[in-house]
Amino acid sequence: MIDRTKIFPLILIILQAAAAIPCAAAHDWRKMIYWLAAAVLNVAVTF
């Protein structure tokens, strides 16, 4: 079970990873890498 204090960071991580999808569809690799890196950074800090 996930801790209640980690629900908001988890939502942010999901949104950041989802933001990379339209960037990949538009072949904007720099923004895609940016959003994926932001998600990974938040995973590292949160968990």
pLDDT, tens only, 11-40? 999 999 999 999 999 999 999 999 999 999
Q: What residues make up the domain containing 18?
A: 4-46
* Structural domains of the chain, count: 1
CB atoms within 10 A of CB 7: 10
For 16, residues 6+ apart whose C-beta sits below 8 A from its C-beta are 35, 36, 38, 39, 42
pLDDT at 2: 80
What pTM did the predictor assign? 0.89
